[in-house]
Amino acid sequence: MYELHRLLREYDRARAHTDALWKDLTADEVTWRPNENSSAIGWHLGHQAHVAHFMIRNLTAAEPSPDPELDGLMDSANPERFRGALPTVRRLTTFRDTVAERVHARIGDIAVGRVGAPDQMTIVGGHLLTALINHEYQHDEWISEVRAHSLGHALPPDPSADGLSRVDGYLVLTPYS
């Protein structure tokens, strides 16, 4: 099993790849929706963080949302056309950064045994981080498609790491194989 600190570095690598896909876009490009049944790049950015928060919260540490107003908006259970207006790029960025800091703090506590049931939480934390990394890359694929095909921007190169490959067209980390 990968050690948790190594998986945190992979989480950061996945987030950096996401940033390479959108940080050079205009606010209008980030919030543009190809049609009413499609999500804007900005929604995917918020959704990635929303899922990370809820997984950390529900599997390792109950804590309040860093931005409760975004919870319903970023929930994929809501059909695209009913998701509402996106927040500003600045608010999305703050949300993503805050969630990432919380992921690091909680997984860091687990990695050094500062939790109840540290051995069990280490296993949970490893699988949780792997899921977060793969979820980040899953939505990166859609962001890539809109960036390249709809908006006409070049794509950055894929990141490279041990255990990182493409499966069914998606980047995935398979640290347990």
Looking at domain 4-173, which CATH architecture does it have? Answer: Up-down Bundle (1.20)
Over residues 65-122, the pLDDT tens digits come to: 999 999 989 999 888 877 878 999 999 999 999 999 999 999 999 999 999 999 999 9
Q: How confident is the model at residue 1 (pLDDT cuts 50, 70, 90)?
A: very low
Are 44 and 142 spatial neighbours (Cβ–Cβ below 8 Å)?
A: yes
| Domain layout of the chain by residue ranges | 4-173
User: How high is the mean pLDDT of the chain?
Assistant: 94
Q: What is the pLDDT of residue 98?
A: 98
SS3 57: helix
Calculate the alpha carbon distances from 95 to 1, 81, 126 in Å: 30, 22, 23
Are 121 and 60 spatial neighbours (Cβ–Cβ below 8 Å)?
A: yes
Over residues 157-169, the pLDDT tens digits come to: 999 999 999 999 9
Q: What is the pLDDT of residue 173?
A: 97
CA dist 48 and 76 (Å) reads 10
Q: Enter the DSSP assignment of 26.
A: -
Over residues 6-18, the pLDDT tens digits come to: 999 999 999 999 9
pTM of the model: 0.94
